[in-house]
Amino acid sequence: MTENAIEITGLRKTYAATKRTDAKDALNGVDLNVPRGSIFGLLGPNGAGKSTLINILAGLVTKSAGTVKIWGFDQDENPRQSRAAIGIMPQEPNLDPFFTPRGSLDVQAGLYGVPKSQRRTDELLELTGLTDKANAYARSLSGGMRRRLLLGKALVHSPQILVLDEPTAGVDIELRNLLWQNVRRLNDEGMTIILTTHYLEEAEQMCDQIAIINHGSVIANDTTSNLLSQLDAKTLVITPDAPTTLPVLPNAVTGQLRENGTLAFTYKTSQTRADDVLDVIKSAGISIKDVRTEDPDLEDVFLDLTRS
């Protein structure tokens, strides 16, 4: 067995032309490895190819070319084993409104061939906080409860890999915190997690490694800390003693007067020193009450890489 939970080589997907649309290349030769035991972020703008990639992993979309290995099993040579190794929590709820949470989990387990004696229905109901709703019809569940049930369904066959597709889109803070507690617990137990999200702050906090896809190609794939260090930029935030305006700045420095009255000066650390910025501020007669620095966050890196 390899050290990677997923190995993707030369993956391509082309959607054929229709009467209304031209042929479209959704994935253009993607090479991607997901380390075992990691929380791996898969990010990209809308239409970048993330959903196509996830649907190929789930066996819902047929690839045009390339190889996909899930937990060491080639998707073409061992389709049953590769699908059994992965669980998908989809972005959109796909629940039968007339099934109860208990019924939904039992049916899902049956579809994966899990014997009744080995089913974890009660355990998963407790994990997702649905024990008291175990026998309520799914149509009566709140949106947050339906999301939790989707997580339970993804786990019924005890997969080694869990894919979370926009799991916190439109959910409240309480549910979001519960979800991340469960994700960290599952990861601590050895499960590999793949996360797609538009909440970049979440990805920055949760993920060990992040790949960014744009126009069907992987444009970045590194540890979160290495990605954050890519931008050669820093922001110096000044709180003046009295209200003031921005001073005249050299070309290498940009300034912003924020709503709270602070002055933010952004510069490239390879070109400008913090002392140089402070000298400009002092020369303008601005008395400094407080000073702090801000480093780039994942949103800055994401926007920089996907700008084209």
Residue-wise DSSP of 223-279: EHHHHHTSS--EEEEEEESS---PPP--TTEEEEE-TTS-EEEEE-TTT--HHHHHH
Q: Which pLDDT score, from 0 to 100, does residue 1 have?
A: 52
Q: Which pLDDT score, from 0 to 100, does residue 94 have?
A: 78
Q: Which pLDDT score, from 0 to 100, does residue 145 have?
A: 87
- 139 Cβ contact list (under 8 Å, min separation 6): 97, 98
Q: Which pLDDT score, from 0 to 100, does residue 22 have?
A: 83
Dihedral sign for Cα 137, 139, 142, 144, please. Answer: positive
Residue with tokens 């209304």: 20
C-alpha gyration radius of the chain: 24
d(CA 51, CA 243): 49
Mark the ranges of the chain whose per-residue pLDDT is less than 50: none
Closest of 276, 270, 285 to residue 250, by C-alpha: 276
